[in-house]
Structure 1
């Protein structure tokens, strides 16, 4: 009896792409489009010698394109775990597509004009672009909240993995929210309360990411975080990447001979420690300290977080584990 030969299994990257495509094709296409933008804007850095606030004009669009490649594809992967509610999943995915594209194109448009995008109200056009960006950021945050709630109420077979997704989404929600400090007088008020003079209010500027110094000074390579004063972007960056870090931690834990309660406890410890570091970095920035020059108090708090996390991990690891007993 003749039998058909077994069908070859697609390589792992192709299987991932197929799964992502089945979840929401437009969101996958947007991730690939942002990857193309990275190349295009990166070429602008090499070919266009203009600078904005001391950095290459096309550096900010490039960084945002990279960020949205990671963010959009991560959310697409997470939405693939949601069972049912296809219309709601599709609506949320479309909102991610729209908001990320509007935000990046606005930044790129201002870069092409040789001016800043964030907090810029110098002209009617600049103010209109900044207003659109501000509204887009709010819609993006609310969309992320909706996705977080979907994952919170979704049933999963593995408790530690489920917890990592929920903690990652929740901490990222706070990291996104922290960005509103940069466009709000509240950030300057908090900085002044910490004994640091806020940046001088300039005509045509509706916010700042630096504390104690003007935006655009000396900063870390590529990231640009101030090395002269506080910089709220560090906490924002830290927060939004909990979305990738905590699920990765959970995946690594599943490779170890640990019981499910141990894995859950370790993920909980990782999430609490990650959140504590994010809060510390924001607090450091609001006190006018560069990320590269923490004072003794900041260093002591960071050491306490690391030691607490390490001690908790050791205690959890040493618990009797059915997997080890076997």
Structure 2
């Protein structure tokens, strides 16, 4: 397959997959409203909604930012395809378990449920590997991007790596509790870092989106870079507060609700940008005023 064909396929597959995941979230929102089922708990329509929305946005984000990173065409195609496939797998299995009326994570009640739990863990490992690879790429020199965009990409991917790390911690904690026969405790307490996981997940779209929007203004690059630095510092402070509150067990709502609100506040402006804002092709350096 030629590099051109690879690029074409990596544009079509992630976009179609991302839209499919968002559509799944919308459908399951209707299902939740019609069924009146619980929002919290290990068995809830919340899970296909939140995973479909988060992974849908994440896949579309990856399709955009991969074009801004210094990656060879084949490497970009491999990483983006792996991220997309793992996102579809994770959301698909979580959705399947929701329709079966059983927990998706830490569930070892039957051989089938155990297999799904293990596949979910393997999908999580794949996502972590891809995100780390993208973060390493972002840390390399990239003269094709403006300094403000380079910094936004680096900070966003570092935040996403932190999100993957908190997710891994929760999965390991849940598996350990489940393996010790404390399954009820795993369902209740393993998700204690969900707010921190949610608030760090979509910085990788929010920060580069802000950098892109600033590049459409007449502000000189030195000022755009300063604004990105201020935004990163403010964002870091929010992440620190949310994480500290999660570790201390402080919350005004359940972890699931807090995570959904955190993700929504982080995601909403960036998703608007992805839908109506910049063109992925317009990634070059804008001349300073």
What residue is the counterpart of 2:86 in the other structure? 99
1:77-92 correspondence runs (5 A): 77-82=64-69, 85-92=72-79
Q: Choose 1 or 2 for highest CA Rg.
A: 1
Alignment counterpart, residue 170 of structure 2, candidates 151, 159, 182: 182
Mean CA deviation greater in 21-30 or 104-113: 21-30
Conserved 8 A contact 2:71-2:137: no
Report the CA distance between 1:65 and its aligned residue: 0.8
Conserved 8 A contact 1:34-1:68: yes
Report the CA distance between 1:21 and its aligned residue: 5.6
Distance 1:63 1:185, change over 3 A: closer
Conserved 8 A contact 2:22-2:57: no
Say if 2:155 is the partner of 1:167: yes
Structure 1 CA distance for aligned equivalents of residues 39 and 252 of structure 2: 22
Name the SS for the 1:290 alignment partner: coil
What residue is the counterpart of 1:148 in the other structure? 135
Say if 2:62 is the partner of 1:75: yes
Report the CA distance between 1:158 and its aligned residue: 1.3
What residue is the counterpart of 1:30 in the other structure? 17
Report Cα offsets for 1:106-143 as digits up to 9, x if no partner.
Answer: 10111011121123233333222111111110110111
Q: Scaled by the length of structure 1, what TM-score is found? A: 0.66
Say if 2:82 is the partner of 1:121: no
Conserved 8 A contact 1:239-1:278: yes
Distance 1:279 1:95, change over 3 A: same
Structure 1: 5+ residue runs without aligned partners? Answer: 1-19, 189-197, 216-230, 294-322
1:223-262 correspondence runs (5 A): 231-255=192-216, 257-262=218-223
Structure 2 CA distance for aligned equivalents of residues 61 and 238 of structure 1: 18
Name the SS for the 1:119 alignment partner: coil
Larger RCO, structures 1/2 (Cα 8 Å, 6+ apart):
2
Higher helix proportion? 2
Conserved 8 A contact 1:50-1:57: yes
Name the SS for the 2:183 alignment partner: coil
Structure 2 CA distance for aligned equivalents of residues 185 and 78 of structure 1: 32
What residue is the counterpart of 2:285 in the other structure? none
Structure 2 CA distance for aligned equivalents of residues 92 and 252 of structure 1: 26
Report the CA distance between 1:278 and its aligned residue: 1.3
Distance 1:146 1:54, change over 3 A: closer
Name the SS for the 2:232 alignment partner: helix
1:283-302 correspondence runs (5 A): 283-291=244-252
Mean CA deviation greater in 245-254 or 104-113: 245-254
Conserved 8 A contact 2:104-2:117: yes
- Give the number of aligned pairs: 247
Structure 1 CA distance for aligned equivalents of residues 172 and 43 of structure 2: 26
Report the CA distance between 1:150 and its aligned residue: 2.5
1:24-63 correspondence runs (5 A): 24-51=11-38, 53=40, 57-63=44-50
Distance 1:83 1:164, change over 3 A: closer
Conserved 8 A contact 2:42-2:187: no
Structure 2 CA distance for aligned equivalents of residues 290 and 56 of structure 1: 21
Structure 2: 5+ residue runs without aligned partners? Answer: 1-6, 255-287
Give the RMSD, CA atoms, in angstroms. Answer: 3.2
Report the CA distance between 1:99 and its aligned residue: 0.4
Structure 1 CA distance for aligned equivalents of residues 138 and 146 of structure 2: 13
Structure 2 CA distance for aligned equivalents of residues 83 and 138 of structure 1: 23
